Structure 1
Amino acid sequence: MKKALKIFLVIPAVAAIIFFGFVPQMIDKSMNVVSKKPPFPKQKYYDSIPFIADLHCDALLWDRNFLKKNDHGHVDLPRMIEGNMAMQVFSIVSKTPRGINIENNDDHTDQVALLSFAQLRNPADWFSIKTRALHQCEALHDLAKNSDGKFRVITNKKDLQKYINDRQTNHNITAGMLGIEGAHCLENDLNNLDKFGKAGVRYIGLTHFFDNEWAGSAHGVKKEGLTEKGKQLIKKMADAHIMIDLAHASQKTISDVLAYHNGPVVVSHTGVKGVCDNNRNLTDAQIIEIGKHNGIIGIGLWETAVCGTDAAATAKSIRYVADKIGVDKVALGSDFDGAIGTHFDVTGLPEIVAALEKQNFTRAEIEKIMGGNIRDFFLRNLPD
């Protein structure tokens, strides 16, 4: 009887150890894969590019030690420094549906709640999308505090300009900024925008993979445009100097935002229909209108965005946007660590430089695309 009782108690304990100790890392490793493994040869001038930056990364979703070099995933502090990455925007994923796809999703399921439970995150994160999003904001600030000065969080122009000055003499430092992927984490309360602004969030994608109370998603059920509350939200965002991200927005939402909002917009990670025609990507008319709004378009490093699995595919879409609205309005929007396969991890960005050279961009233009445009965009649009 005692032996049977011991077995009865041991089996659940072992199962729990396996589940909580190994399953989250297995999910991370299986989802955040690369087409090409390091090492990557660098061009002679790669390490002298003054500001390499990327508009979108979901690394905060994963229970991974950001301060050490990992053998899986796409981004961590040592690999950012190795890849001469000056700044990465870390976007917060707070809810994703089961069976996620680019065509049709509802909001009835919450895979991030399950992941938060498996990662043994704060129990409040299991039930509140706002809380789990705010905890991801806190996590980035904590990383900066524990990085021995190697990592900073940028929240305003003063931060960014000081960092730019400091990095001219020390390339062994890097920085991050916070964004949000889906305004559903405001939990239908405009007042919650202030909490995220104080936490350092500087752009918000109105939707992610499903329609919400603010706007329609490109991947939602109805795919409608801005709601009346959504119009209030974009006005409040403009007043708070929080930029609008149009990634994942429905066609109608994009049109509504560009009609109601006069300021600059971000498309943090996308592709273009002129190169890769699917429900995820921007039309020529949208590209041109975003250019008129002095916006910036981040081109992705994954197959659905660019219809390819190598740097050449991304460079082709970058050339397409540059030819439409100028080389000053296009950038990298990798979607690193976004539960997708990318061409390579952050140390593979020299592959993009080589591919841009084959697209006949000059070195000065390549430096803009690789991060100079992001630097200048935020210098213009961050709060003082």
Structure 2
Amino acid sequence: MKKALKIFFFTIIVVAIFFFGFLPSMIDKSMNKVTSQPPFPKDSVYEAIPFIADLHCDALLWDRDFFEKHNYGHVDLPRMLEANMALQVFTIVSKTPRGINIEHNDDHTDQVALLNFAQLRKPADWFSIKTRALDQCHDLHSFAKESGGKFRVITSKRDLEKYIADRKQNRFITAGMLGVEGAHCLENDINNLDVLYDAGVRYIGLAHFFDNEWAGSAHGVKKGGLTEKGKDLIKKMAEKNMVIDLAHSSQATISDVLKLHSGPVVVSHTGIKGVCDNNRNLTDEQIIEIGKHNGIIGIGLWETAVCGTDAAATAKSIKYVADKIGVDKVGLGSDFDGAIGTHFDVTGLPLIVKALEKEGFNQEDITKIMGGNIRDFFLRNLPN
């Protein structure tokens, strides 16, 4: 009996060490793969770009040391600096369903709760999606405080203007901004919008992989449009100069927002049906309407978005959008660290420049696409 108990407790200890000590990083490595390894050569065109920016990265989901250069995943501070990245939007993932797919998901399961448990995050994160979101906000602000001035968080037009001026004097600094994937983290209370705003969130995707109290998802069960609460939410977001992100939104939600909201919108990470036809991507009509709203479309780096995993596939979709609504309304929406495989990490962005050159873009256009458009969009639309 004593021997059996010893074996039992030894087994429990071994399992616990594996589950808490190794499993989170194993999941990270397996879900955020890179098929081509650095270094990636930079040329004069890339080096001349003053402001490189990307609209979507989920690195805050993973328990990865932001200050250490990793040989897996897509983004950390050393690699951002190496890539001359000026601004990365860090988006908050607070809940994803089991068996996640782009066609049909309900909200009955919660994989992020299990991941938070394995990462030994505080118990409140296991049960509250709002708390998870706020803790990810806190993490990014903590990175800024601990970075020795190398990283800062942008929350206003004034922040961004000062940062642009500072970066002209010192290119070895970088910055982040906070967004949210899925308004479900408001926990059905519109007053929580104020809480997220105060934590630094400046854009919100109305839905993620399932329908919620506010809006339908392109990947949900009903795929409906804005609810009455959702209509109130976009009004309040407009009052606070918070940008609406239409990524993952259902066709009906996109249509409702574009009818009811006169301000700019963003599609932080997407593809285009005209290049890659699936339930995830935008129609030509949606692209044109987003252009009329002075919005910006971020083109992704993963296969479902662009029907390819190399830079050429992304550049092809960027060209498609530029031809439809102009080169001023398209940028990068990588979905780095979003549980996707990509051809390269953030240091591979020079490959995008090469691919854009092959699509016929000149240096002025490339400068806009690689970050100038995103910079100017937020200069126009962040709160003062």
Same fold (TM over 0.5): yes
Q: Which residue does 1:265 correspond to in 2?
A: 265
1:356-367 maps to which residues of 2 (within 5 A)?
Answer: 356-367=356-367
Q: Which residue does 2:307 correspond to in 1?
A: 307
1:142-161 maps to which residues of 2 (within 5 A)?
Answer: 142-161=142-161
Amino acid at match of 2:164: I
Q: Which residue does 2:185 correspond to in 1?
A: 185
Cα deviations by residue, 1:94-135 (Å, 9 ceiling, x for unpaired): 000000000000000000000000000011000000000100
Cα deviations by residue, 1:226-265 (Å, 9 ceiling, x for unpaired): 0000000000000111110000000000000000000000
Q: Does 1:94 align with 2:106?
A: no
Q: 1:4: Cα distance to partner?
A: 4.2
2:45–2:363 contact (8 Å) kept in structure 1: no
Q: 1:8: Cα distance to partner?
A: 2.8
Cα deviations by residue, 1:157-181 (Å, 9 ceiling, x for unpaired): 1110110011112111000000000
2:217–2:250 contact (8 Å) kept in structure 1: yes
1:35–1:310 contact (8 Å) kept in structure 2: no
Q: 1:9: Cα distance to partner?
A: 2.1
Stretch of structure 1 that moved more, 318-327 or 5-14: 5-14
Q: Does 1:56 align with 2:79?
A: no
Q: Which residue does 1:69 correspond to in 2?
A: 69
Secondary structure of residue in 2 paired with 1:45: helix
How far apart are the structure 2 equivalents of 1:11 and 1:278? 46
1:11-30 maps to which residues of 2 (within 5 A)?
Answer: 11-30=11-30
Q: 1:300: Cα distance to partner?
A: 0.2
Amino acid at match of 2:295: G
Amino acid at match of 1:350: P
Q: Which residue does 1:278 correspond to in 2?
A: 278
Q: Which residue does 1:42 correspond to in 2?
A: 42
Q: Which residue does 1:296 correspond to in 2?
A: 296
Q: Which residue does 1:8 correspond to in 2?
A: 8
C-alpha RMSD of matched pairs (Å): 0.8
How far apart are the structure 1 equivalents of 2:146 and 2:3? 47
How far apart are the structure 2 equivalents of 1:283 and 1:36? 31
Amino acid at match of 1:56: H
Secondary structure of residue in 1 paired with 2:252: helix
Secondary structure of residue in 1 paired with 2:44: coil
Secondary structure of residue in 2 paired with 1:266: strand
Q: Does 1:212 align with 2:212?
A: yes
2:270–2:297 contact (8 Å) kept in structure 1: yes
Aligned length: 384
How far apart are the structure 1 equivalents of 2:355 and 2:212? 38
Cα deviations by residue, 1:33-56 (Å, 9 ceiling, x for unpaired): 013211111112322310000000
Q: Does 1:329 align with 2:356?
A: no
Q: 1:2: Cα distance to partner?
A: 4.7
How far apart are the structure 1 equivalents of 2:3 and 2:285? 72
Stretch of structure 1 that moved more, 11-20 or 38-47: 38-47
How far apart are the structure 1 equivalents of 2:188 and 2:5? 49
How far apart are the structure 1 equivalents of 2:155 and 2:343? 29
How far apart are the structure 2 equivalents of 1:306 and 1:252? 23
Q: 1:277: Cα distance to partner?
A: 0.4
How far apart are the structure 2 equivalents of 1:233 and 1:255? 16
1:43–1:354 contact (8 Å) kept in structure 2: no
1:298–1:331 contact (8 Å) kept in structure 2: yes
How far apart are the structure 1 equivalents of 2:264 and 2:45? 32
How far apart are the structure 2 equivalents of 1:256 and 1:98? 28
Q: Which residue does 1:120 correspond to in 2?
A: 120
How far apart are the structure 2 equivalents of 1:129 and 1:118? 16
With normalisation by structure 1, the TM-score equals 0.99
Q: 1:366: Cα distance to partner?
A: 0.1
Cα deviations by residue, 1:250-307 (Å, 9 ceiling, x for unpaired): 0000000000000000000000000000000000000000000000000000000000
How far apart are the structure 2 equivalents of 1:68 and 1:35? 21
How far apart are the structure 2 equivalents of 1:82 and 1:98? 35
Unaligned runs of 5+ in 2: none
With normalisation by structure 2, the TM-score equals 0.99
